Amino acid sequence: MAASDYQILDPRFRRLVNASAHVQKLWSGCQWAEGPAYFPAHRSLVWSDIPANRLMRFDEAGLGVSVFRQPSGHANGNTIDRQGRLVTCEHGGRRVSRTEHDGAIVTLADRFEGKRLNSPNDVVVRSDGSIWFTDPTYGIDSDYEGDKADSEIGASNVYRVDPATAAITIVASDFIQPNGLAFSPDERHLYIVDTGRSHGDEHPAHMRVFDVEEGGTLRGGRVFADCSAGFFDGLRLDEAGRIWTSAGDGVHCYDPDGTLIGKVLVPEIVANLCFGGPKRNRLYICGTTSLYAAFLLVNGARLISASA
C-alpha cells in the first residue's frame, strides 16, 4: 500500500503515525474477521472468523497463521483479562466464556434472570475483574453467524458480571444494537457503540460515552461521535485516551475531545482492532476477509496488570 495509508484530518494526528510504516496485509481467507486479542506472553494474536465458526491465531514471531479453535461457538469479540486469559463472546453458545490457563473453557454469563442471552458481541474486562459485554441480536437474526432464534430477553442490553458474586446486571438498556465497547485508560469512562442502523435507517450508527460510577453503574451516555463512513464496530484506546475505532473505510482515530483527527485507511470494511506487539505499538486490524497490521507512533492502553 502507498504512503496514503494514513489520512490526516487534524494536525494532532500527524505525530501518531509514520507514513513509511505501511498497513500490511498479514493474511487473507476469512469470511468475516472480528475480535482480535493480543497475548504478549505468547506473542500471538487470536481473532474470530465468525461465519466460519473458528478462532484463528497469528504467530507474531514465526509469522504463521493457523486455526486456534474450531468449532468456536461462532465466536465474535475477544479480549484478555488482567490475568492474561482469553475471554470470548460466543454467538452459537449465546454466552461469554473464558479459556482457563489449563485449557478448560468455562461459562461466565449465558442467562439474565433465567432467560438466554441473545448473542454476546464484544467484551471488556475492568481492572477490578468485572466483565462488561454487549448483547445485540446479530448471532440469532439468521443462521449465518450463529443459530437463528427468537430473543428470550426481548431487548439488546449491555451487562456487567460482578467479579465477586458472578451476578449479572444490566448497565445500559437504551441501545438498539450495542456493539463494541472499551474503557478509557483511567476506567472512568466507557465508550459503547450502537450499530442499530443495521436494523433500520432511523436507528443510530454512533458511539456514546458514559461515566463509570463507584459500584459498577453507568451515568450519562451522550453521543460521542456519529460514524462518517459505514459503521463503528469494535474500538480500543491508546495510552493518551484517544479512541481508535473500526469504520467502513478503515480505522478512525478520535481525540478524547470528540474530534475525528485521522484515519488508517484499509481496503476492506473494518470490524475490529487491537493494539499488540511487545510495545503495544502495533495496530492489528480485522478487515472482513483479512488480517492487517500497522506500526504506530503511539502505544495502546495496558490491558494486563504487570503484577498479574
How many residues can be counted in the chain?
A: 308
b/e code 76-90 from CB counts within 10 Å (16+ = b): bbbbbbbeebbbbbb
User: Among 49, 60, 233, 268, which residue sits at the site for Mg ion (rule: CB under 5 A)?
Assistant: 233
Q: Which is nearer to Mg ion, 6 or 196 (CB)?
A: 196
Stretch that binds Mg ion, among 173-181, 235-243, 276-284, 288-296 (CB under 5 A): 173-181
Instruction: Say if CB 138 and CB 145 are below 8 A apart.
Output: yes
Closest CA to 159 of 134, 178, 179: 134
Q: Which is nearer to Mg ion, 47 or 275 (CB)?
A: 47
State the nearest-atom distance from the C-beta of 86 to Mg ion, in Å.
17
State the nearest-atom distance from the C-beta of 271 to Mg ion, in Å.
6
Stretch that binds Mg ion, among 101-109, 226-234, 243-251, 257-265 (CB under 5 A): 226-234
137 part of the interface to Mg ion, by CB under 5 A: no
Q: Which is nearer to Mg ion, 81 or 122 (CB)?
A: 122
141 part of the interface to Mg ion, by CB under 5 A: no
* CB-CB neighbours of 164 under 10 Å: 8
Closest CA to 57 of 43, 75, 44, 70: 44
Say which residue the cell 461462532 belongs to: 74
State the nearest-atom distance from the C-beta of 183 to Mg ion, in Å.
16
The mark string for 237-276 relative to Mg ion (x by CB under 5 A, - otherwise) is ----------------------------------------
DSSP 300: B
User: Among 53, 157, 179, 245, which residue sits at the site for Mg ion (rule: CB under 5 A)?
Assistant: 179
State the nearest-atom distance from the C-beta of 205 to Mg ion, in Å.
13
State the nearest-atom distance from the C-beta of 122 to Mg ion, in Å.
5
78 part of the interface to Mg ion, by CB under 5 A: no
CA angle 284, 292, 65 (to 5 degrees): 90
Judged by DSSP in three states, 16 sits in helix
Within 103-122, which residues bind Mg ion (CB under 5 A)? Answer: 121-122
Q: How far apart are CA 194 and CA 202, in angstroms?
A: 13
Q: Which is nearer to Mg ion, 122 or 145 (CB)?
A: 122
194 part of the interface to Mg ion, by CB under 5 A: no
State the nearest-atom distance from the C-beta of 34 to Mg ion, in Å.
6
Judged by DSSP in three states, 11 sits in helix
Tell me the β-bridge partners of 57. Answer: 46, 66
Burial class (CB within 10 angstroms; exposed 0-12, middle 13-18, buried 19+) of 145: buried
State the nearest-atom distance from the C-beta of 179 to Mg ion, in Å.
4
Q: How far apart are CA 232 and CA 9, in angstroms?
A: 18
135 part of the interface to Mg ion, by CB under 5 A: no
As a 3-state breakdown, the chain gives helix, strand, coil percent values, each rounded to 5, of 5, 45, 50
State the nearest-atom distance from the C-beta of 214 to Mg ion, in Å.
28
Q: How far apart are CA 241 and CA 187, in angstroms?
A: 10
145 part of the interface to Mg ion, by CB under 5 A: no
Q: Which is nearer to Mg ion, 12 or 197 (CB)?
A: 197
**Residue ranges binding Mg ion (CB under 5 A):** 121-122, 179, 233
